[in-house]
Amino acid sequence: MAPITKKFEVTLDESIEKFPCKKCCLKSNHKVVATYTERGSEDCGGGNTFDWTAFNQIIQCLGCEEISFRVESSNSEDWDHDDEGNTYWIATVTYYPGRVVGSKIIDHASLPLDIGEIYQEARSALDSDLLIISGIGIRAILDTICSDVKAKGRNLEQKIDDLHERSLVTKEGVQTLHQIRVLGNNAAHRGKAHTKSQLLLALEVIEHILIGTYIIPYRAKKVFKHIEPKKIAAPVAPNNEPAA
């Protein structure tokens, strides 16, 4: 077995860096609370080595004060050249928990329990770059919404069409939902991973349906519970003639 050497170092410099924040949903100033650096080397023989470096960091957002974990890793096999021809290692950065800049999770507490659970799992998968699982989850949300509102049809395609017939979505919205259905089918039956931008847009469309169908009616019921709309009586035509 090839000899492997490792060195570890703890740094408490509390430097300030811009990182994406899961809670703020944007890049914000973070304090690097601590860095645990691992440097390793494996002797591959013939004077060749495989070398790697990993910076394991505890970070804290200076806006919301959320604490999370960041890993920046690189190795001697994954490299490129800069504009001046100098070699550099390509770094891979991973955040725990995962996050997507510019996309904020909706308030799922007011969703039906089964829909809320599927939404959370699909969102978590997308945040963690699990693209196939994300596609399956997004389709599952759509399917569960159709079942919850009792959309008619023998399959998901017909149920989506029924959403339009019942004025729950627009004609243009139906076309988008069918594209999401195909996206989910490709993930579930073909193991196809769609791009993160496609999945983000698909989830955004689903979130708009969830907000309009469940979240806003739930909030309105609580906020406007003491406000009763007045019924306006039909106008009475003169001489007891029927109103036009």
Together in a domain, 77 and 24? yes
**Does some domain include residue 14?**
yes
The residue range of the domain holding 46 is: 4-96
Write phi, then psi, for 228 (nearest 5 degrees).
-105, 125
Q: What CATH number should be reported for the domain holding residue 115?
A: 1.20.120
Together in a domain, 152 and 70? no
- Over the Cα atoms of the chain, what is R_g? 27
Quick: pLDDT tens for 134-182.
999 999 999 999 999 999 999 999 999 998 888 888 888 889 999 999 9
Together in a domain, 76 and 163? no
C-beta of residue 70 within 8 angstroms of C-beta of residue 19: yes
The count of other CB atoms within 10 Å of the CB of residue 228 is 7
Quick: pLDDT tens for 199-228.
999 999 999 999 999 999 999 988 888 787
CA 226 from chain centre, in angstroms, equals: 36
Give whole-number Cα distances, 207 to 67, 68, 135, 174, in Å: 27, 26, 14, 15
Token pair belonging to 89? 């290692």
What pTM, to 2 d.p., does this model score?
0.76
Together in a domain, 143 and 196? yes
**Does some domain include residue 242?**
no
Quick: pLDDT tens for 101-119.
878 888 888 999 999 999 9
Together in a domain, 62 and 33? yes
